[in-house]
Amino acid sequence: MAIENANWIAELDANYPAAGEMVSEGDDHIRQDKRVLKNTFQNFGVGAPVTVTPAQINNIPNLAPKASPAFTGVPIAPAAGTGNGSLQLATMQDVQNVVANASLGGMGLPSPSGNANKFLGTLDGTNYGFFSLRDCLHVQDQKANGAGTGAASAGQNFRTINTTLENSIQGASVASDEVTLPAGTYDVTGWAAGGTGNYRISLYNTADSAYVASCMGLKGSSNGFGVFAGRFTIAAQKTFKVVQDSAVIASNGFGAPASVSTIEVYLSVIFRRLPS
Amino acid sequence: MKYVTFNPGTRELTGAYIQPLRAEHANFLEVSDEEHANWVNLRMNAELTGTEPVEPVDAGEDS
């Protein structure tokens, strides 16, 4: 008789053994069948039964491969969670959490707090910062309607600075009639009312005892004023005052009231810091 | 911050500023934009907790 020499299921002949074959060849068939099963299902039945159904096995060709799978439908996955920097796949839930918790600080950008009306940008191509197109300090000497200014002395008179109209320069401030400015380059324009007698109005660097900008010498009258303008650079924080050098003592020597039912303004100075 | 400074003895306001509070300004009151813009016509109330209008002063003598 013939016994097929099979090692794999496909090589088995379903017609063997034929009827009437010798019983003594039965053990040969049984060993061959066991060899075929063990060769074909080498890892089956080791420690656990195989429970998948034929349908599940038949669906294997439809499953996505591990390498570069192209999913269809609506694939889902466990959420990676916040603060997860692993190679785990992110879900839309993770994306939403990241967006909801996103902040400028988280992206390495400065906080917008305290930077109203400023623009985020870079001047050095390396660092981000907030900048104002009008870094400005505007100060005045204001008084109530009809209020005068008192007497000016002969010599150096420091003018009153008691009002800030605008201050968008970080680090700039006013106290005791003195303006404090941080390092930078500034354009300054200002005017101050004077009195009778000759006088000159100037911006004075009190830290360095130096005149920064002055008006021309004025032959005073009761309604005169001096205007000064200039540009200066300070490498570190400095303090400034507006000084009036007067030749004579004069009442209302820093300006006489207009008394026209509005406030009196006797001095106004605008500092504009140029972009560095 | 916007604040005014005042003399607690006379209740007169002495200045109006836009800046972080300076140490020299021990007597201060944080104010609204409207108060800041009109500070020369205000004074502190009796409790020194807020501002109130002040009567216009007489016109000074021109020299």
Per-residue pLDDT at A150 exceeds 90? no
What is the rounded CA–CA span in Å between residue A269 and residue A209? 19
Residue A193 C-alpha, separation from nearest chain B C-alpha, in angstroms: 13
Q: In this predicted structure, what is the pLDDT of residue A268? A: 97
pLDDT at A15 over 70: yes
Residue B61: list chain A partners with CB under 8 A.
148, 251-252
Residues in chain B within 8 Å Cβ distance of A174 = 15, 17, 19, 22
Q: Does A221 touch chain B (CB under 8 A)?
A: no
How many angstroms away from the CA of B9 is the closest CA of chain A? 18
CB atoms closer than 10 angstroms to residue A251:
17
- Cα separation, A177 vs A182, in Å, equals 17
Average pLDDT over residues A100-125: 76
pLDDT tens-digit series, residues A21-31: 888 888 988 99
CB contacts of A175 in chain B (<8 Å) are: 17, 22, 24-25
pLDDT tens for A53-102 read 999 999 998 888 999 999 899 999 999 988 888 998 999 998 888 888 77
Q: What is the pLDDT of residue A276?
A: 63
Average pLDDT estimate for B3-32: 97
Range scoring the smallest mean pLDDT among A119-128, A166-175, A225-234? A119-128
Q: Which of A21, A71, A273 is nearest to A172 (CA)?
A: A273
CB contact under 8 A, A142 and B17: no
Query: Which positions in chain A touch B63 (Cβ < 8 Å)?
Result: 195-196, 222, 250-253, 256
User: Higher confidence at residue A132 or residue A171?
Assistant: A171
Residue A208 has pLDDT above 90, yes or no: yes
Beta bridge partners of A21: none
Report the residue of chain A nearest B16, measured CA to CA.
A163
Phi, psi of A126 (to 5 degrees): -125, -45
d(CA A149, CA A244): 13
Question: Residue A176: its chain B contacts at CB < 8 A?
Answer: 24
Is the complex ipTM higher than 0.95? no
pLDDT score at A20 = 86
Testing the interface with A: which of B12, B17, B25 to mutate, by most A Cβ within 10 A? Answer: B17
Confidence band for B63, pLDDT divided at 50, 70 and 90: very low
A163 part of contact set with chain B, CB < 8 Å: yes
**A195 shares contact with chain B (CB less than 8 Å):** yes
For chain A, say whether B62 makes contact (Cβ under 8 Å).
yes
pLDDT reported for residue A195: 82
Residue-averaged pLDDT of chain A: 87
Q: CA nearest A214: which of A229, A199, A224? A: A229
- Strand A184-193 to strand A264-273: parallel, antiparallel, or no bridges (unpaired)? antiparallel
**What is this structure's pTM?**
0.62
CB A226 within 8 A of CB A182: no
Indicate if the pLDDT at residue B55 is higher than 80: no
Gyration radius (Cα) of chain A, Å: 46
State how far residue B58 is from chain A, nearest Cα, in angstroms: 6
Q: Per-residue DSSP letters for chain A? A: ------SSGGG--TTPSPTT--GGGHHHHHHHHHHHHHHHTTTTTSSS-----HHHHHTGGGSPPSSS----S--------TT--SSPPPPHHHHHHHHHT--TGGGTPPP-TT-TT-EEE-SSSS--EEE-TT-EEEEEEEE-TT----PBPSEEEEPP--EEEEE-STT-EEETTEEEE-SEEEEEEEEEE--SEEEEEEEEETTTTEEEEEPPPEEE-TT-EEEEEEEEEESS-EEEEEEEEESS-BTTTT-----SSS-EEEEEEEEEEPP-
Select the residue of A146, A163, A256 nearest B16 (Cβ to Cβ). Answer: A163
pLDDT tens for each residue of A129-141? 777 767 899 999 9
- Asked which of A42-46, A158-162, A199-203 is least confident by mean pLDDT, the reply is A42-46
Comparison of pLDDT for A61 and A176, the residue scoring more:
A176
Of the candidates B19, B40, B59, the beta carbon closest to that of A142 is on: B40
